[in-house]
Structure formats: structure tokens, C-alpha cells
Amino acid sequence: METLVSRVPEEAAGRLRCRSCGQNDLMRVLDLGRLPLANALLLTEQLHEPEDRFPLELFFCPQCALVQIGETVPPERLFYDYAYASSFSDTMVEHARLLVEALIGSHGLGPGSLVVEIASNDGYLLQFYKARGIPVLGIEPAANIAELATAKGIPTLTEFFDEKLAHRLAAQGRCADVIHAHNVFAHVPDPNRFVSGIAALLERSGIAIIEAPYVRDLIEKLEFDTIYHEHFSYYSATAVAGLCARHGLIIADVEHVPIHGGSLRLFIAHAGEPASARVIDLLSAEKSAGLLAFDYYRDFGRQVAALKEDLLALLWRLKGERRSIAAYGASAKGSTLMNAFGIDGRLIDFVVDRSCLKQGRFTPGNRLPILPTEALLERRPDYVLLLTWNFATEILAQQREFRRLGGKFIVPVPQVNVV
């Protein structure tokens, strides 16, 4: 449990430089140990091979307030073969549809517009623009996922987005009226290159919509399982404002949306646009709450350690009572939680997931088999550990028959709760 507690947090991590401002006085918030890559699901033939593990430590930059991990696993290793498709989540698809409908109306988008999505996944969002006759372009580095989008008729570049690609598209006359970047900002090892690319690709009157998990929710709701090697940074509005200013951009507006346990939806524009009252209020609220100082993050590791103790106590008690336990969601969150807490086949019999891209594989680290969700009714475990707690409402509704028959779910975050 001691690896979950901040170790000498006041000590600067001199070997590291902030991903945003470049300062080298980062302060350690949390050490989760050496973990496997969260989405590196295993095939049967890989079960006897060793898995690479990398340090997973969280740091705070006192200069620009960016929270970030210290390790940089090459993005090519993380994203070229990816097992996450957004369309398997009804919540994500509806979230995208509602946003697209609002933007088409508020920005007068039509056949002469261009909408670009960075990390466009399987076309789950751009499909709604396409259906309205608005030209789109997806940028998705995972070739297997890009193929799913192409099959839907979504033109997709299989590349990583940075300022180089942005300048190339701009030179071709393909500047965007709207740029979407949902659940990708955290995945960028060098946020300056990413934001510089947005500035180059965005029309002067255009808007970029970035959604990223909000660091305040992460800390205050104990969402430690949002931390994994794909997520390099954890943003506040303050950290984003400083980053944008460096590249001639501003946060023109902001919303706090519930998706993924709490995210910022940031509307980014070229400098010169006035910031909304919501932006000014949020920046002020972050300062008042203490997000710009290390003290705000100081006890996070101890709180995670206490959660570990509570969850393991429940799971071991249930096993002692000869109760069977499965898990729902072969997710990155689940990988962090299980591997950081030492949850393996002694406690969990199997994992289920809706995604056919994951079924038949095995979870990284603890190597649990991933089955279709129908296995819950077929095998009837007594309890299910809900690893994708951020979609709890959707999943609990889908599993009403399993629950009617007596099955119970264990929601582990922000505190252990049985439903």
C-alpha cells in the first residue's frame, strides 16, 4: 500500500520537465508502481510471454499547474493497434449526437464548411455531420479503428495529429471551421505541438472543441483509475489557458460536462475573441479552491491507499463466503485499478465487455479472460465489480435482468458501494 502514497512530495523530480511550460521542478503526487499498458490486451498465444511494465507516477507542476505523469511511452506503442471503439457505448454516441446538433445550429454549418475530428475513432461523432451533408475529415492513428470509420463513409487519415500535419492540411486549403478533440488531449505527450497544430488548422473565425477529464473531478472524486500511460496530462482550465496563450489561442467558453466522471468541454478560438463569463468564473474558482498549489494534491495518495484497503477487504470477505465475482469492462480504468490494487484471478473469475474487439482476449497484468456480456446471465456470478463506473447508469440499465435474478454490482469509485 505504501506505493500509493506520495513519497517525499516536496522533493522536486529534477529529471523531469513539465510537458507544457518546460520547468523541471515537478512535485510527486502519487506513485502507482510499475504497471502494464492499460489497453495492451493479450491474445491466447501471448499468455506465456512476459509483459512490459512501466512506472506510473503522477506529478504537479507548480509553475503552470499542469498535472501529468512522468513516463512517456511512445504513442506508436500505445495507439496503432487499439481495442477501444466509441460506438460500443450508447452514452458516448448520444453525447456526440447532442453536441453536433447544437453546433450545427449555433455556427451555421453547411455544405461549405469543414469539420475535422482529431482522434476520430470509429466515426461515432463525425457520422452525425455527414448525415447532415457537412464535409468531414477524421484523423485517427489506430489503423484498425480508422478502418471502421472508413467503412461508414467517413474519410479518415491514419496519422498522428501535430503541427506538421496541420500545416500540410492548411496548405491544401483544408482549414477547419470546427475542430473536435474529444478524449485525446490527455493522450498527447507534447501538448505544445498539439495546440500549435490546432492554431494552424483552425479558420480565423473557427472554433475547436476539446473535451478532457477535469483534474478537479479526478482529485475530489478519487478517480485515480483515470491515470494510465495513455493519459499523459490531467487538465485544469488554468493549465489549458496558459498553454493556449503560448500559441495565440484563448478559451472562449467552457462547460463542465458529466461524461467520464467529469470533463471540461473547452471552446478554443484564436486570440481576439472575448472570454465568456463562465471562463472567468472557472479560473477564479480554481484559484480559490487551491488547484494552483501542491497542497490541493498532497493527500491524494493516502486517499487512494484507503480505497484500496476498503475494496480488497470487501472482495476477500466475499470470496471467504464462497461468493463468485466477475468484473464488467475490460477498460483502461479497470486495468489501472486491478493492477495497482493487486486484484487478480484469486478474486475475479472473468471480465465481460460489450466490445467484440476485446472479447476472446485477456486483461493486461492479471490475465483474466474477457467474455461477452451474455456471460453474466450464463454463469450468474454473485457480484460484478464495475470497472467502467463512468457508464454506471447505462450498464445497470442494460443488466436489469441479471440484477432481477439477484446479481449485485460493486461500484469502486469514489467509494466502495454495492448496488
Please indicate, yes or no, whether residues 152 and 293 belong to a single structural domain of this protein.
Answer: yes
Query: CB under 8 Å to 97, separation ≥6 — which residues?
Result: 128
Collapsing DSSP to helix, strand or coil, 181 comes out as strand
Nearest Cα neighbor of 179 from 107, 259, 232, 111 is 107
Please indicate, yes or no, whether residues 270 and 387 belong to a single structural domain of this protein.
Answer: no
Nearest Cα neighbor of 164 from 126, 145, 190 is 190
- On whether residue 81 sits in a domain, the answer given is no
The phi, psi pair for 355, rounded to 5°, reads -80, 125
Please indicate, yes or no, whether residues 291 and 313 belong to a single structural domain of this protein.
Answer: no
8: left (phi over 0), alpha (psi -120 to 50) or beta: left
pTM: 0.90
Please indicate, yes or no, whether residues 266 and 338 belong to a single structural domain of this protein.
Answer: no
Please indicate, yes or no, whether residues 317 and 282 belong to a single structural domain of this protein.
Answer: no
What is the pLDDT tens value at each position of the chain, 419 positions in all? 333 433 333 344 446 899 999 999 899 999 999 999 999 999 999 999 999 999 999 999 999 999 999 999 987 777 655 555 666 678 888 988 999 999 998 888 999 999 999 999 999 999 999 999 999 999 998 888 899 999 999 999 999 999 999 999 999 999 999 999 998 999 999 999 999 999 999 999 999 999 999 999 999 999 999 999 999 999 999 999 999 999 999 999 999 998 888 999 999 999 997 899 999 999 999 999 999 999 999 999 999 999 999 999 999 999 999 999 999 999 999 999 999 999 999 999 999 999 998 999 999 999 999 999 999 999 999 999 999 999 999 999 999 999 999 999 999 999 999 99
DSSP string for residues in 21-63? T--S--EEEEEEEEEE-TT-PBPGGGTTS---EEEEEEEE-TT
Domain membership of residue 6 as a residue range: 2-62
- E-assigned strand segments in 123-163: 136-139, 156-157
User: Which pairing describes strands 67-69 and 176-182: parallel, antiparallel, or unpaired?
Assistant: unpaired
Q: Find the angle CA(302)-CA(416)-CA(407) to the nearest 5 degrees.
A: 155
- On whether residue 72 sits in a domain, the answer given is no
CA diameter of the chain: 66
Cβ-in-10-Å burial (0-12, 13-18, 19+) of 373 comes to middle
The edge-to-edge listing of strands for the beta sheet with 202-213 is 156-157, 136-139, 115-118, 176-182, 202-213, 263-270, 249-257
What CATH number does the domain containing 326 carry?
Answer: 3.40.50.720
